[in-house]
Amino acid sequence: MAETDRPQLYLVTPPDFDLGSFPDTLDRVLDAEEIACIRLALATRDEDRLLRASDAVREIAHRHDIALVIETHVVLAQRLGLDGVHLLDGARTVRHARKELGPDAIVGAFCGATRHDGMTAGETGADYVSFGPVGGAALGDGTLAEADLFAWWSEMIELPVVAEGGLTPELVRALTPVTDFFAIGEEIWTADDPVTALKALVAEMQ
């Protein structure tokens, strides 16, 4: 990433949301800032709920011409015609997901704070890796992904890197020079006004 480029925004849905009201909120957020990708990250394993949520989010994502990936569920990504999958087990299932979804799908891998997992994920076909949490968020095993991991990655590795988990304005400011994407989710959905919260984070990306 060139030093003058601002990181892109990668929006992560809440782990649970109201199908009656969330689509409108999502629409407002997508109108407010340029979003590169959306991750459907529901905590439920209920297939009917996943299908209905996917339909609702996909309609809005495609209206805004934004890619939509689903967390973990390779089979559902295929069946629902989504743009790809975000894997939570490091490099372990990247090769399988790539084989199932084909060369054009987005395959991303969450690699905690492990440089080795990130490199292996890239070698086995991931389009990006994400490291986190960068702040005090319940993500992975809780081990913080420090700024020096992102600095090393951005200098040594061409594969895009995503910073996520517990982002604060201070962390966004510190990581802006060394990450390609910020994955933003609970940081804005738990706020009174997600649009205002998002804009406050974006303002730090100077």
CATH of residue 35 = 3.20.20.70
Q: Beta partners for 181?
A: 8, 162
- Express each pLDDT in 37-56 by its tens digit: 999 999 999 999 999 999 99
Distances (CA, A) of 57 to 12, 40, 52, 124, 168: 11, 8, 9, 29, 26
Looking at the domain assignment, is residue 125 inside a domain? Answer: yes
| pLDDT tens for each residue of 60-101 | 999 999 999 999 999 999 999 999 999 999 999 999 999 999
pTM, to two decimals = 0.95
Per-residue pLDDT band for 1 (boundaries 50, 70, 90) equals: very low
Confirm if 131 and 157 have CB atoms less than 8 A apart: no
As for how many domains the chain has, the answer is 1
Residue 42 lies in a domain: yes
Q: Is 102 exposed, middle or buried (0-12, 13-18, 19+ CB in 10 A)?
A: exposed
Asked whether 19 and 52 are in contact (CB, 8 A), the reply is yes
State the chain's mean pLDDT as an integer.
Answer: 95
* Tokens describing residue 24: 């409108």
Residue 29: what residue type? Answer: V
Residue 2 counted as domain residue: no
Structural domain includes residue 86:
yes
The answer for residues whose C-beta is within 8 angstroms of residue 102's C-beta and 6 or more apart is none
Q: What percent of the chain has pLDDT over 90?
A: 94
What's the rounded mean pLDDT across residues 154-162?
A: 97
185 falls within a domain: yes
For tokens 């925004």, name the residue.
9
Which domain does 29 fall in, by range? 8-202
Report yes or no on 150 lying in a domain.
Answer: yes
